[in-house]
């Protein structure tokens, strides 16, 4: 009988405290989401700054060493992978961090987004050079269903299929959020090619081969 009394008391306390515990959980969830959003905004701000600086100074159209590395399927120190989009003849090394230096000759992974090859939204950005075929210059030619490949440093190849194409404001952080589709790849570049005011967004989802 004593055992049942204790259980009833505990059940009563739990019932009374449930609304408070629920509010604490919601507050924690809200704090987590706001923290993640602030983190993504920081990464997007860095990317926008890099894009703006390239407009002011003019980015190089030279292929450089990184282009040769990507063509040979080998990786230089600090390179996390290679992005290949056969339909528009793109093959670029991927460096970590969307800095001005990294994006002179390569694509850059936004560190604030998911790691490539892991569940979540991994964002990769590159400039659109004025010379046709350089960097993400031809990204606007992609269509729904086109394929994108990532070759990681350990030679693992990940296959993606494009499922969404959009043009957004530079401040639109939603393109970096996790859509809950497993392993997602988001490609970002300026739009239009000259006097860019927006961002061209190509989203692709991992497919099993």
Residue 157 in this model has a pLDDT that exceeds 90: yes
Q: Which of 14-28, 65-79, 156-170 has the lowest mean pLDDT?
A: 65-79
Q: What is the mean pLDDT of residues 6-13?
A: 65
The structure tokens listed for 41 are 């905004």
The top-scoring range by mean pLDDT among 45-49, 56-60, 94-98, 184-188 is 184-188
Confidence at residue 184, expressed as pLDDT on a 0 to 100 scale: 98
Residue 44 in this model has a pLDDT that exceeds 70: yes
Q: If you average pLDDT over every residue of the chain, what do you get?
A: 81
User: Are 149 and 83 in contact, with CB atoms under 8 Å apart?
Assistant: yes
Query: 74 or 140: whose pLDDT is higher?
Result: 140
Query: Could you tell me which residues are beta bridge partners of residue 187?
Result: 124, 202
Confidence at residue 66, expressed as pLDDT on a 0 to 100 scale: 45
Confidence at residue 41, expressed as pLDDT on a 0 to 100 scale: 82
Confidence at residue 168, expressed as pLDDT on a 0 to 100 scale: 96
The residue from 59, 159, 190, 198 that is catalytic is 190
Q: Which of 136, 192, 172 is nearest to 43 (CA)?
A: 172
Give the per-residue SS3 of the chain.
CHHHHHHHHHHHHHHHHHHHHHHHHHHHHHHHHHHHHHHHHHHHHHHHHHHHHHHHHCCCCCCHHHHHHHHCCCCCCCEEEEEEEHHHCEEEEEEECCCCCHHHCCEEECCCCCCCCCCEEEEEECCECCCCCCECCCHHHCCCCCEEEEEECCCCEEEEEEEEEEEECCCCHHHHCCCCCCEEEEEEEEECCCCCCEEEEEEEEECCC
Distance CA 109, CA 123 (A): 6
Confidence at residue 74, expressed as pLDDT on a 0 to 100 scale: 56
Confidence at residue 65, expressed as pLDDT on a 0 to 100 scale: 43
Residue 72 in this model has a pLDDT that exceeds 80: no
Q: Is 190 a catalytic residue?
A: yes
The structure tokens listed for 84 are 């290949």
The residue from 127, 130, 159, 198 that is catalytic is 127
Q: Is 127 a catalytic residue?
A: yes
Domains of the chain, with CATH numbers? 79-206 (2.40.260.10)
């Amino acid at each position: 009988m004593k055992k049942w009394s204790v259980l009833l008391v505990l059940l009563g306390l739990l019932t009374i405290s449930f609304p408070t515990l629920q509010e604490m959980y919601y507050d924690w969830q809200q704090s987590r989401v706001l923290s993640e959003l602030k983190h993504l905004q920081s990464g997007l701000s860095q990317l926008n700054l890099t894009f703006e600086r390239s407009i002011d100074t003019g980015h190089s159209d030279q292929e450089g060493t990184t282009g040769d590395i990507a063509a040979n399927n080998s990786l230089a120190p600090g390179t996390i992978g290679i992005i290949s989009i056969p339909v528009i003849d793109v093959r670029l090394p991927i460096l970590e961090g969307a800095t001005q230096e990294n994006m002179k000759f390569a694509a850059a992974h936004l560190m604030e987004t998911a790691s490539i090859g892991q569940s979540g939204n991994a964002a990769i950005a590159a400039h659109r050079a004025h010379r046709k075929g350089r960097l993400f210059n031809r990204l606007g030619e992609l269509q729904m269903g086109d394929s994108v490949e990532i070759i990681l440093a350990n030679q693992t190849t990940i296959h993606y299929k494009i499922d969404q194409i959009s043009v957004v404001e530079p401040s639109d952080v939603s393109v970096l959020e996790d859509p809950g589709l497993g392993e997602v790849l988001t490609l970002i570049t300026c739009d239009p090619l000259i006097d860019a005011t927006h961002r061209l967004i190509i989203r692709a989802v991992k497919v099993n081969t």
